[in-house]
Amino acid sequence: MTTGHRVPLGGAGARPRDEHELRAPIIIGIDVGGTFTDVALLDAAGHVRMAKAATTPADPTNGVLAALESGASGLGIDLVELLRRTRRITHGSTIATNALLTRTGPVLGLVTTRGFEDTPAIMRAIGRVDGLSEEEVRHPASLTKPVPLVARTRTEGVFERIDVRGTVVVPLRDGDVVRALERLIETEGVGALAVCLLNAWANPVHEERIAALVDERYGARVYVSYGHRLARVAGEYARTNTALVDAFVGPRVQRYLRGLEDELRRRGFVGDVLAMQGNGGVASAGQCSPVATLQSGPAGGMLAAAHIAKTLGHDRVLTADMGGTSFDVGLCIEGGWSYADEPVFDRFRVQQPIIEVDSIGAGGGTIARYEEATARLVVGPRSAGADPGPACYGAGGDEPTVTDANVVLGVIDPRYFLGGARALDATLAHRAVERVARPLGLDATRGADGIRRIIEGKMADLIRRQVIRSGHLPETFVLYAFGGASGMHAAAFARELGIPRVYVFPTSAVFSAFGIALADVRHTRLRTVEHVLPVPPRLLNAPLDELGAELLEIMDREGFARTDARLRRYASLRYLRQTQAVELELPEAPLDAEAIATLSRLFAQRYHALYGTGAGDPDALVEVSALRVDAVGPVPKPALAAAELDGEAPPEPKAWRSVHLDGRPSQTPIYEWSGLRAGQRVGGPAVVESAFTTVVVPAGMSALVDRFGNLAIDAKGSAS
Amino acid sequence: MSVIDPVRYEILRHRLWVIGEEGRAALQRVSASPIVVQGGECMQSFYDASGRMVLACSGHLRFAAATSDAIKLLIREFGSSPGFHEGDQIFNNDPYVAGSHTYDQMVVMPIFAERRLIGWTASSSHTADTGGLLRGTATEIYHEGLRVRALKVVERGQFRDDVCKTIVEQCRDPYYVELDLRSRVAANNVSGARVLRLVEQFGLEFVEAAMRKMIEDSERLARAKLRELPDGTWRSRTYATAMRSARPFQVRCTMTKARDEVSFDFAGTSPQQDDDQNSTLPSTLAHVALALTNMLFWDVPWSDGKMAPVRVSVPEGTFLNCRFPAACGGAPRVGQILVSAVTECVAKMLYAAGRLEEVNAGWQGLWYQGGPGYFYGGTNANGLPVAQGLYDIHGGGFGATPLRDGVDTGGHANIPAGGISDVERIELSYPFLYFARNHNPDGAGYGRHRGGAGSHRLYMVYGSSDLTVDFRPYGGIPNGGFGLFGGYPCGTGGMRAILATDPVALARRLAEGRYPTSGREAVEGGWATVHVPEAGRPRVALPERWLVSDFVQSGGGFGDPLEREPETVARDVASGFFTRDAAERFFGVRLDRDGAADLAATDALRDETRARRRRDARASADAPATLPPGDPLATPHHSLEIVRASAGARWRCRRCGADLGDAAASYKRGALRAIRPLGQVSDAPLPAGDFIGELHEYYCPGCVALLQVDVFCPTLGDDAMLHDIALAMVARAPQPA
């Protein structure tokens, strides 16, 4: 798919763009993960090339350059030539996440409203369990809160109070602010500062006054994050965290992005360098707040899914990303996604529009054990993680994991794990599984089969719960499976969930990088409001216009003319006194009384669709609780290259081996993915392998290779 | 033990759990109640055909515990008339049957397969309104509104509008009560249908065998856990104060653990109250189960098997087993006092077992009760009714442990994953403007490890002309907390009071850019004066621009506060957890002008404090007898161990070797004791009324380390020197009864 108009991105008129685009047809997506830095290269014909390099935590730029070099050599050119041919590099990273996880950042100070200095430490009490799994919260006597990002002794309260309508009840005094700044910046020497005052979302006048005093006295000497600039949303705990996290990761993220851009420019790159954000869009480094880059990896996965869903015509997609230690589930409905309400990072909830992807904690590293008192085979929730990892890694782990079970069953070829990059020890896997199986009277194979069935049952349950919580039913979805471990289990849990079709992708190993390459420019603004319907239209139009104007100004700085940037506007509605709201898209034109009446009606319909008839009350009052405006600047991207169908000949197995599936061993054909041609059908039981992943096609199912090289597994028509 | 396919069993039990989660999601989506939707006060659970609980899902722990009793009663009383049929759902909210108060409501549904009853599912949640008198005024259960023993709200699959309307029309807010009722029906519909699918998939025989095994598994795990703990008897006593007078009452708990069983005896507990501070037997049993789930059986899946090795005995006519028709709206609060008493015994048992990471001091400590509560009435600036409750108590401080301080504003025992609201969210719907919500200085229990601090708040009435709040007389005795091994049950700080202002003067000072940030500041800075309404008024008006100050419960301390590092105390003061005054009086720490610990002055002050302890305890000048070092038989106390001596097993100080006497008796007999009237311990008077009772501090006769801090109320006439730790290994042969 190619967008109709050419978009001057990143400084209109600075360069002869069209010419440049012709000369530089490649777009690159980079995803700097914890272990690997992935690169996806898209050329004008829609071919995708992948490359990987080890992430270099000390300076991730090195890993990025190495991955780009590897990508260049795949094309038979050098890095400088690749950069010369590249129009755009979009970059997602875990820099911010890692800085937070490892608590590597500047000493922070906080200026807040006097009397509320403990907000970051009180954490609404819920901070004790935020970011922990259900299993972890079961023993309340052993749980503690994380250490707040700012010390109480570096928090300064200033007298000021603004009410929820924005009225100043207690004015801010400059002298108080100056004293607070002096103490934090000069006496305490803080490295970065957060400013978050109560109800600044309703009226930012006091935070803006503090900003003026900071600028006047300290200029750019100190990095400062202001709560209202990051989120105009009620809820001081998460907003304060947002400002604190931004201040904590900000200097590092900015330094890194600037450094990377410098390195690329030194090698002659003249195109755009863009940062991937958790909202599913990109922004130029200058317009992107560091806290917005959190969760850019999972956002990339969602974008890739959305792009493929559009190409394949799927309007309800469930994404399942299963790696070694995690299992993330997301929903992509009609090409869109929802944003989490106060998403949690590490242990801190923040207010940012972040694509909702839920981690349900199961993976290849999930551990099985025998519980003696009850004679149970318990699988999970503990994980062996990456270190020591599964027993078959031979790195000291002696507890059996799901990966070990797959080795025992012959699903994983121990000599072809990650394309042979990591040799696995099948004997260790056997021994570990046997230890938990024997007390139950099972041999290693039956024990491994049990572990596999139990984890697949649990995954099906947890996916179902996520989907149901969002108000949907799993059987109406297509499943997209990506991440190293999904392909081995997806067909089985799809069958349990009643999902008819599963897709596994050749780009699966760099799925996020692929999605990041495709991202449009996107900025999002949220605003808390409080209006009972019917509301005079101007009370909604005014804030919507204000948000829209703010966004268009940003898009202008991104190089988008007003006509090229698209605004999408949403309102959250709920019955009065309810706590959960339903978001509806608003028409493009300003709202009038009729549009507002329509809104009321649409809300009732949507509410009933979500919660069932009889749940709502036609006489109850409805209120608007929040507004959101997205500005989207589409960037050109190629249509994915499609091969001609060539499926007449049956596919040729590269080998046969004994694989234990569905309760019995059988000689099973093994296919090399890259050897399969579009239109060919693989009948189960079968295993399809690539250097990055393994896909199981169970007996009674079959997988079709589509024109894009994807495996489409038909999970219907077989009994469980 | 049932022998069934272990793999299918694992798949089935996880699926049953997620079915309950699905039910809960259905309930939360339909319910309008914030306490249900955000606070998580709901539960979905499953029972076998006879009403034994098979599994309770995550959610509000209190609800699941007693539902099996409700189902058993339904079967007994109504099993033949009208009988239960496929598609029936039965509403119940009678706290004399199940639940804690009439606000705890459930809908139970029999599940039929192959044309016979195979089990039950139940959906329970908290509803904010039951009609009746407003909170705080009931003296019999008839005043507490709607009370239904059993009504089929769905009959053979048909929702009965007549029954529904009859129920909800008893309430002030029928729309919301109906939504809550319908949400429970929706949850059961979802769960019931999914259980039938489970039966289809696994076969009825297998499902029934698995349900049996789930109950057996829990019992085995619970018994295995109990076997690992030492045998013995532990005793505790906690206090609460009444609604309509400052009169205290007490919970007495005796826990005896032998082999793989444990029993709780509440003999000595005060008689039932003439207000709503009572707990029915089902509520008491639910709270015992809750305390054990949090502290002891947290890793045991929750079925009735978990409570099989537990015996509970509660004398009838006490406030923990009130006689019909006693009012019981305050049962959740009473339950907290009871949970505290149970938890203290369990914590000391876990300490004796050496399981230090599982030991917590009390979570429910309040220096005093009384003054304005948090059940509001009236309308806000938009003319809408103000929601009744405001639950900052869901962010109380947790107890200190042998290894660390307690968690500040950690949560609430009933709702492990709950939380409190943002001030901005509160101001959006309540007629308040806050001037402070911070950690409560001097609220946390003093100790070598301090308790977790609760919060305090100060707010101004802002935008309501008819606001009221519940109000109770000041009862000046620590409610519900306990410290461990020398830690205090709670701190002495916090002010709960209505503060009258002069609106004109207040407006002038606000416009100058200043406001008070605590109740004390408001009074001392001349912003306001304490307003004490005339006696006997259970609800009082809160005029516009008046202030309200209050605080929530905090955690108990662990160990002698004189052992806390001076630098740590200095940091506590800098962070607002303690005042300088408390640092000196309780920790013996002096700070210099910049707030750093003055080590020399601290040494001197601590010596002086120890000398004062000796004086106050009237210690003799002679050095106490000591025991030779040697391997202890047991270490059931942070500062004391039991050693074998020529005279038999003795208590011995782990620091100085002092002999505290026969280990079959209480170490308190060999300790020094100082009695401190509560009014002298506190640095601030109550807003009105007097402190009641004393702190009894027990010290080592040798090194004067603080061993135990007991709250004691002499007017209730109980045994002052509670024999709190009695290990079976050193017990003498029991006297014939």
Give tens-digit pLDDT for B476-501. Answer: 999 999 999 999 999 999 999 999 99
Contacts of B25 in chain A (CB under 8 A): 465, 468-469
Mean per-residue pLDDT over chain B, rounded:
93
| Of A208, A195, A140, nearest in space to A168 by CA | A208
- For chain B, how are helix, strand and coil distributed in percent, rounded to 5? 30, 25, 45
Residue A649 pLDDT > 90, yes or no? no
B2 and chain A in contact, CB less than 8 A: no
Residue A258 has pLDDT above 60, yes or no: yes
N- to C-terminal Cα distance for chain B? 38
Do B9 and A376 count as a contact with CB atoms less than 8 A apart?
Answer: yes
Q: Which of A151, A176, A469 sits opposite B25 (nearest CB)?
A: A469
Subunit contact A170:B416, Cβ cutoff 8 A: no
Question: Nearest CA to CA, how far is A78 from chain B (Å)?
Answer: 53
Q: Compute the radius of gyration of chain B from its Cα atoms.
A: 27
Of A161, A373, A462, the CB nearest to B220: A373
In the prediction, which pLDDT does A21 show?
55
CB-based contact (8 Å) between A458 and chain B?
Answer: yes
Confidence tier at A558 by pLDDT (50, 70, 90):
confident
Highest mean pLDDT among A334-338, A506-510, A706-710: A706-710
A613: confidence class by pLDDT, cuts 50, 70, 90: low
pLDDT band (50, 70, 90) for residue B120: very high
Q: Is residue B419 pLDDT above 90, yes or no? A: no
Question: Tell me, what's the pLDDT at A11?
Answer: 35
Mean pLDDT highest for which of A413-422, A515-524, B660-669? Answer: B660-669
pLDDT of residue B279: 97
* Whole-number pLDDT of residue A3: 28
Task: Look at residue A620 in the predicted model and tell me its pLDDT.
Answer: 74
What is the average per-residue pLDDT within B139-161? 95
d(CA B663, CA B487): 22
Q: What confidence score (pLDDT) does residue B737 get?
A: 43
Residue B27 lies in a domain: yes
Q: State how far residue A646 is from chain B, nearest Cα, in angstroms.
A: 40
CATH number given to A297-362+456-517: 3.30.420.40
CA closest to B458 among chain A residues: A115
Do residue A377 and residue B395 have CB atoms under 8 angstroms apart?
no
Q: Closest chain A residue to B516 measured between Cα atoms?
A: A115
User: What pLDDT does B1 receive?
Assistant: 47
In this structure, are residues B341 and B253 in contact, taking their beta carbons and an 8 Å threshold? yes
Q: Answer yes or no: is B648 within a domain.
A: no
Report the number of distinct structural domains present in chain B.
2
* Sheet with B455-461, side-by-side order of all strands: B432-439, B455-461, B547-551, B497-500, B529-531
B647: helix, strand or coil: coil
Report the chain B residue with the minimal C-alpha distance to residue A123: B409
Query: What's the pLDDT at B175?
Result: 79
Q: What tokens does A457 get?
A: 């049952």
pLDDT at position B38: 61
* pLDDT-derived band at A664, boundaries 50, 70, 90: confident
Neighbours of A421 (CB within 10 A): 10
- Measured distance CA(A641)–CA(B550) in Å, rounded: 67
Number of helical H runs and strand E runs in chain A: 17, 32
Please check whether the domain covering A17-98+255-292 is classified as CATH 3.30.420.40.
yes
Q: Which of A475-489, A626-640, B395-409 holds the top average pLDDT? A: B395-409
ipTM: 0.94
- Burial (0-12, 13-18, 19+ Cβ within 10 Å), B594: exposed
Residue A720 has pLDDT above 60, yes or no: no
Asked whether A114 and A155 are in contact (CB, 8 A), the reply is no
Domain boundaries in chain A? 17-98+255-292, 100-249, 297-362+456-517, 366-452, 522-633, 655-703
Domain that holds residue B18: 6-222
* Cβ-defined contact of B299 to A471 (cutoff 8 Å): no
**Percent share of chain B, pLDDT over 90:** 80
What number is the average pLDDT over the span B615-620?
Answer: 93
Least confident residue range of A98-107, B64-73, B214-223: B64-73
Fold match between domain A17-98+255-292 and domain A522-633:
no
B345-369: pLDDT as tens digits: 999 999 999 999 999 999 999 999 9
Predicted local confidence at residue A287, as pLDDT: 83
Q: A719: exposed, middle or buried (C-beta count within 10 Å: 0-12, 13-18, 19+)?
A: exposed
Does residue B2 surpass a pLDDT of 60? Answer: no
B30, B34, B409 ranked by CB distance to A612: nearest: B30
Locate the chain B residue with the closest alpha carbon to A470: B25
pLDDT of residue A485: 86
Residues of chain B in contact with residue A170, where contact means CB-CB under 8 angstroms, are 510-511, 513-515
Q: What is the pLDDT of residue A15?
A: 39
- Please tell me which residue, B260 or A609, carries the higher pLDDT value: B260
- Best B35, B393, B438, B577 residue to mutate vs chain A (most A CBs within 10 Å): B438
Residue A17 pLDDT > 70, yes or no? Answer: no
Quick check: A164 and B411 CB within 8 A? Answer: no
Q: What is the pLDDT of residue A474?
A: 92
Is pLDDT at B629 greater than 50 in this prediction? Answer: yes
Residue A33 is predicted with a pLDDT of 82
Is the confidence at residue A602, as pLDDT, over 50? yes
Set of chain B residues whose Cβ sits within 8 Å of the Cβ of A376: 6, 9-10, 217
**pLDDT of residue B254 exceeding 60:** yes
* Portion of chain B with pLDDT greater than 70, in percent: 97
Domain end: B523, B540, B559, which one? B559
| CA distances (Å), origin B22, targets A45, A463, B194 | 46, 11, 9
Query: Which chain A residues contact residue B224 at CB under 8 A?
Result: 373
B258 touches chain A (CB under 8 A): no
Residue A532: count of CB within 10 angstroms of its CB: 12
CATH class of the domain defined by A100-249: alpha beta
Convert the pLDDT of each residue in A503-546 to its tens digit: 999 888 789 999 999 999 999 999 999 898 889 999 999 999 99
Q: How far, CA to CA in Å, does A570 sit from each of A238, A390, A529, B121, B591?
A: 22, 46, 12, 39, 56
Q: Which residues share a beta bridge with B312? A: B264
Give the model's confidence band at A2: pLDDT under 50 very low, under 70 low, under 90 confident, else very high.
very low
Q: Report chain A residues whose CB lies below 8 A from the CB of B521.
A: none
A620 touching B (Cβ < 8 Å): yes
Q: Which of A31-35, A351-355, B518-522 has the lowest mean pLDDT?
A: A31-35
Highest mean pLDDT among A178-187, A510-519, A642-651: A178-187
Contact at CB, B179 and A617, closer than 8 angstroms: yes
Q: What is A522-633's CATH number, 3.30.70, 3.30.1360, 3.30.1490, 1.10.12?
A: 3.30.1490
Chain B 82-121, residues with CB within 8 Å of chain A CB atoms? none
* Mean pLDDT, residues A465-469 taken together: 87
Which of the pair, A636 or A336, is modelled with greater confidence? A336
Q: Which of A425, A451, A296, A291 is nearest to A366 (CA)?
A: A451
Q: Kindly state the tokens that stand for A266.
A: 């030194």
**Residue B545 is which amino acid?**
R
CB atoms B515 and A234 under 8 Å: no
- The structure tokens listed for B444 are 């946390």
Q: How confident is the model at residue A424 (pLDDT cuts 50, 70, 90)?
A: very high
All residues of chain A having their beta carbon less than 8 Å from the beta carbon of residue B179 are 615, 617
Residues 181-210 of A with CB under 8 A from B: 198-199, 201
- Does residue B58 carry a pLDDT above 80? no
Other Cβ atoms within 10 Å of A588 Cβ, number = 9
Contacts of A453 in chain B (CB under 8 A): 7, 11
**Mean pLDDT for the stretch of residues B506-531:** 97
Closest by Cβ to A122, choosing from B220, B221, B439: B439
Closest Cβ opposite residue B15 in set A122, A129, A457: A457
pLDDT at A5: 30
Q: Mark which of B527, B559, B591 sits at the end of a domain.
A: B559
Residue B207 lies in a domain: yes
Which has more confidence, B556 or B183?
B556
Lookup result for tokens 């270099």: A56
The better pLDDT of the pair A34, A79 is held by A79
Residue B40, pLDDT > 70, answer no
Residue B152 lies in a domain: yes
Of A523, A507, A504, the closest CA to residue A515 belongs to: A507
The predicted pLDDT at position A319 comes to 96
pLDDT(A247) > 50: yes
Beta-carbon count within 10 A of B403 CB: 10
The answer to whether residue A22 scores a pLDDT higher than 70 is no
Cβ–Cβ contact B217 with A under 8 A: yes
- Taking residues B591-616, report their average pLDDT: 97
DSSP letters spanning A511-526:
HHHHHHHTPPEEEEEE
Least confident of A130-139, B198-207, B392-401, B578-587: A130-139
Interface check for B456 against chain A (CB to CB < 8 A): the answer is no
Answer with the one of B159, B189, B222 that is the final residue of a domain.
B222
Mean pLDDT of B549-568: 98
Average pLDDT, chain A: 89
Q: How far apart are CA A436 and CA A367, in angstroms?
A: 11
